[in-house]
Amino acid sequence: MMSADTALRAAEPETAAPPLLTIEGLRIGFPSLEGLVLAANDAHLTVGEGEVLGLVGESGSGKSVTCRAIVGMVPHPGAVLGGRIDFAGRNVLEFSKAEMRELRARQIAMIFQDPASALNPVFTIGHQISEVLRLNAGLSRAEARNRSIELLERVGIPAPDRRMSAYPHEMSGGMRQRVMIAMALAGEPRLLLADEPTTALDVTIQDQVLRLLEDLRRERNMSMILVSHDMGVIGTAADRVAVMYAGRIVEIAPTDVLFSRPDHPYTRALIDAMPQLTPEDRSDLRTIPGQPPDLLKLPEGCPFAPRCPLARDECAEVSMELTAVSPAQSSACPFARDGS
Amino acid sequence: MRTLAWAGRRAVGLRGEAADLLRQAQTERRWSNVTLGVGIAIVGALAVAGFFASLIAPADPNAVDLTQRLLSPSREHWMGTDPFGRDIFTRTLYAIRLDLVVVLVITYVPMVLGMIVGALAGYFRGWVDAVTIRVIDAFIAFPFIVLVIAVVAILGPGLQGVYIGVLAVGWTLYARLTRGDMLVLREQQFILAARTLGYSPRRVILRHAVPNLIRSNLVFSMADIVLNLLLLAGLSYLGLGVQAPTAELGAMVADGQSFLLQAWWVTTLPGVVIVVLGAGFSMIGDSLADRLGQKFGVVG
């Protein structure tokens, strides 16, 4: 069998590099008593080689589920209903269980939100990192130990050789998140899925962890999807941003474009809602009016219409397809540029 | 100034309360230590006596001597003799050994089996879980002892029936406990993380999940040991467990019951041993539950 790696190189032309990850028309459904809930509804996005894609949206917009679908781990009882997820030229939705495990072991790694439960409480961190190296990189026990110490040192754990025998509960949240990152990097992944990696940390530690992720990504030319609901985090760390609302990608654009010329009204509302701490602007925090949508009772057409300042009757007939606003920016709202 | 004085009084009051709480916690801790110590001492002493029965015992446990029937406790026969003239002290020692071994087997074999079944059901969910939980519910719907007696009745009386009967029924409690823990555990991020690292389900379950499940099962097993001790004695008392002439505590209680008024010791003394042994296990179980239950917040 051809390994995913060689398959990739064969599929990769020398000139214009295709994106490492392409998601097309992804639909993920969760059965519920009142009907089917679509956590991802016709979602499209791409992640280039070495690129950081920020995925923003409020709680329940489908960010995490989309990430988990990439490694075939949609939480029970959800399921992928349609679409494609092409990683390095192959549709991972068609992978066998063995291929999927191979993909997780060597190509795609994931880090999670809550460092309190991200490490197994009954094993030392040395044991847990060494296990990844022995199983996924085929190192011997002694090699794995040395490599683990290197990795811990790389992610900024002080006195890594002594920390090897520490249990997770002996470490702080930030330290545990660093260990988690070390474990994720042990398999030399090409794509890192970071599901709200800094949400549970306090602000100074958040910044350190983001910097660490950025450094590591540069060193390894790794791609990354950074899921967050924090526009500040996205603004500092992402190259491009995809904005998700009610299971749909409503806008996708390079970070600087998105912040300077947001197109979709939802994106604008998110950026307006960011707190400004300047002497001139002492206004109250701005919020988005209305409630996050009930995924069971979505309106026809644009799901954001009930909360949208630009809403009009035609919103019920909008196809929600992403159309190019400028070469790098696409948006799902056809009316955003009408008034201006 | 007045507020300051008031705040000062509050602080002193708090200090007093805090000191009380601390003292209370220390007392509880000390009692837990005492309980554990006493429990281990009781079970340990009886276990040592039982396992060295052949060295300690003054007589042969099955030597019948009809001239020595129903003798009351004396320097020669510490616990007296039974209706067949056998030395009760000797028989008690052998019975302790037998009971301990059987009870450990009928507690921990079902525990291991139940843990495996429960872990698989909780991890894979879907139809595996649905089938398992129905089977467990069906077993649990009957009184435990009735099911065990039914199995023993089918297989015929004897230790073999007890082993199979308890194994057939006992695993369900551990399976249910483990399944519940596993349902919580499988959503813990370290289990998700293990899966995203491409580990096989076998590895995730056995190496990553099961070590987190053992704790609650061990705590439960300590209570189960006591119940199984009583179950074994009960079945033997009813003539369904260990068969004559083998010495077993419950069977010995049964041996003496028709002579209760003439020779109280034949029934009473082995009965007291059952109680003491059960109490010893209970003490160990209670203090272990205190310790193991609170160590980690994750499960159990």
Which pLDDT score is estimated for B135? Answer: 94
Strand order in the sheet with A35-47: A35-47, A21-32, A79-87, A90-91
Helix (H) or strand (E) holding A28: strand A21-32
Please name the residues in contact with B2: beta carbons below 8 A apart, sequence gap of 6 or more: none
Q: Quickly state the pLDDT bin for B21 (edges 50, 70, 90).
A: confident
Please name the residues in contact with B182: beta carbons below 8 A apart, sequence gap of 6 or more: B118, B119, B121, B122, B123, B209, B213
Q: Do A183 and B198 touch (CB under 8 A)?
A: no
Average pLDDT in the A189-212 region? 89
Chain B residue with Cα closest to A71: B196
3-state secondary structure of A196: coil
Rounded to whole angstroms, the Cα distance separating A24 from A45 reads 7
Q: Do A104 and B193 touch (CB under 8 A)?
A: no
| Residue with the two structure tokens 């026969």 | B77
Which of the residue ranges A76-90, A196-210, B46-60, B281-295 would you say has the lowest mean pLDDT? Answer: B281-295
Which of the residue ranges A11-25, A69-83, A258-272 would you say has the lowest mean pLDDT? Answer: A11-25
Which pLDDT score is estimated for A2? Answer: 43
Which pLDDT score is estimated for A34? Answer: 87
Q: At what angle do helices A4-11 and A97-106 cross, to 10 degrees?
A: 80
Which pLDDT score is estimated for B293? Answer: 61
Tell me which amino acid residue B152 is.
Answer: V
What is the least distance, in Å, from the CA of A318 to any CA of chain B?
37
Whole-number average pLDDT of chain A? 87
| A 38-77 residues with CB < 8 A to B | 71, 73, 75-76
Residue A181 Cα to chain centre, angstroms? 14
3-state secondary structure of A8: helix
CA dihedral A94, A98, A102, A104 (to 10 degrees): 70
3-state secondary structure of A26: strand
Environment class of B102 (CB within 10 Å of its CB; exposed 0-12, middle 13-18, buried 19+)? buried
Rounded to whole angstroms, the Cα distance separating B88 from B253 reads 11
Please name the residues in contact with B268: beta carbons below 8 A apart, sequence gap of 6 or more: B256
3-state secondary structure of A326: strand
B185/A contact by beta carbon, under 8 A: no
| B 117-146 residues with CB < 8 A to A | 125
Other CB atoms within 10 A of residue A16 CB: 6
Which pLDDT score is estimated for B14? Answer: 56
A104/B contact by beta carbon, under 8 A: yes
- Cβ atoms of residues A7 and A90 within 8 Å: yes
Which pLDDT score is estimated for A281? Answer: 64
DSSP lists the bridge partners of residue B291 as none
| Tokens representing residue A268 in the block | 């604008």
Chain A residue with Cα closest to B201: A101
Choose the closest CB to B211 out of A114, A118, A122: A122
Average pLDDT in the A108-113 region? 90
Q: Do A73 and B189 touch (CB under 8 A)?
A: no
Q: B182-233 pLDDT, tens per residue?
A: 999 988 889 999 999 999 999 999 999 999 999 889 989 988 999 999 999 9
Q: Do B197 and A102 touch (CB under 8 A)?
A: no
Residue A289 Cα to chain centre, angstroms? 26
B298/A contact by beta carbon, under 8 A: yes
- Cβ atoms of residues A198 and A234 within 8 Å: no
The residue that leads in pLDDT, B8 or B254, is B254
Average pLDDT in the B257-276 region? 92
Strands A191-195 and A223-228: parallel
Please name the residues in contact with A177: beta carbons below 8 A apart, sequence gap of 6 or more: A111, A115, A118, A197, A198, A201, A205, A209
Which pLDDT score is estimated for A132? Answer: 92
Domain ranges of chain B: 99-294
3-state secondary structure of A16: coil
* Chain A interface, best mutation among B125, B192, B197, by max A CB count within 10 A: B197
Which pLDDT score is estimated for B297? Answer: 40
Rounded to whole angstroms, the Cα distance separating B155 from B243 reads 14
- Cβ atoms of residues B196 and A73 within 8 Å: yes
- Cβ atoms of residues A290 and A273 within 8 Å: no
Buried residues in A61-82 as b, exposed as e (16+ CB within 10 A): bbbbbbbbbbbbbbeeebebee
What predicted TM-score, i.e. pTM, was given to this entire model?
0.79
Which of the residue ranges A62-76, B24-38, B286-300 would you say has the lowest mean pLDDT? Answer: B286-300
Q: A164-189 pLDDT, tens per residue?
A: 999 998 998 889 999 999 999 888 89
Rounded to whole angstroms, the Cα distance separating B97 from B49 reads 8
Q: At what angle do helices B210-237 and B249-256 cross, to 10 degrees?
A: 20
Q: Do B192 and A135 touch (CB under 8 A)?
A: no
Please name the residues in contact with B65: beta carbons below 8 A apart, sequence gap of 6 or more: B81, B84, B85, B86
DSSP state of A54: E
Q: Do A117 and B195 touch (CB under 8 A)?
A: no
Ranked by mean pLDDT, the top range of A271-275, B15-19, B129-133 is B129-133
Average pLDDT in the B19-43 region? 86
- Print the SS3 string covering B240-254: CCCCCCCCCHHHHHH
B99-294: CATH topology: MetI-like fold (1.10.3720)
A225/B contact by beta carbon, under 8 A: no
The C-alpha angle B195, B198, B203, rounded to 5 degrees, equals 70
Here the contacts of B131-135 (C-beta below 8 Å, separation 24 or greater) are B132/B175, B132/B179, B133/B176, B133/B179, B135/B172
